Amino acid sequence: MENCKITELYNLDETIAKDLLSKYTYPWEVLAHINDFILELGATLPTDEYNKIGDDVWVHKNATVFESAYIHGPAIICKDAEVRHCAFIRGKALVGEGAVVGNSTELKNVILFNKVQVPHYNYVGDSILGYKSHMGAGSITSNVKSDKKLIVIKNGTEKIETGIKKIGAMLGDNVEVGCGSVLNPGTVIGKNTNIYPLSSVRGVVPANSIYKNKNEIVEKI
Q: What CATH number should be reported for the domain whose range is 2-219? A: 2.160.10.10
Q: What is the pLDDT of residue 206?
A: 97
Q: What is the pLDDT of residue 221?
A: 81
Q: Which of 38, 39, 46, 43 lies closest to 16, judged by CA?
A: 38
CB distance 121 to 105 below 8 Å: yes
CA distance from start to end of the chain: 24
Within 10 Å of residue 114's Cβ, how many Cβ atoms? Answer: 22
Separation CA 126–CA 142 (nearest Å): 9
Q: What is the pLDDT of residue 180?
A: 98
Q: Would you write out the chain's pLDDT as a tens digit for each of its 221 residues?
A: 999 999 999 999 999 999 999 999 999 999 999 999 999 999 999 999 999 998 899 999 999 999 999 999 999 999 999 999 999 999 999 999 999 999 999 999 999 999 999 999 999 999 999 999 999 999 999 999 999 999 999 998 999 999 999 999 999 999 999 999 999 999 999 999 999 999 999 999 999 999 999 999 999 98
Q: What is the pLDDT of residue 54?
A: 85
Separation CA 80–CA 103 (nearest Å): 17
Q: What is the pLDDT of residue 70?
A: 97
Residue by residue, DSSP assigns 151-206 as PEEEETTEEEE---SB--EEE-TT-EE-TT-EE-TTEEE-TT-EE-TT-EE-SEE-
Q: What is the pLDDT of residue 55?
A: 87
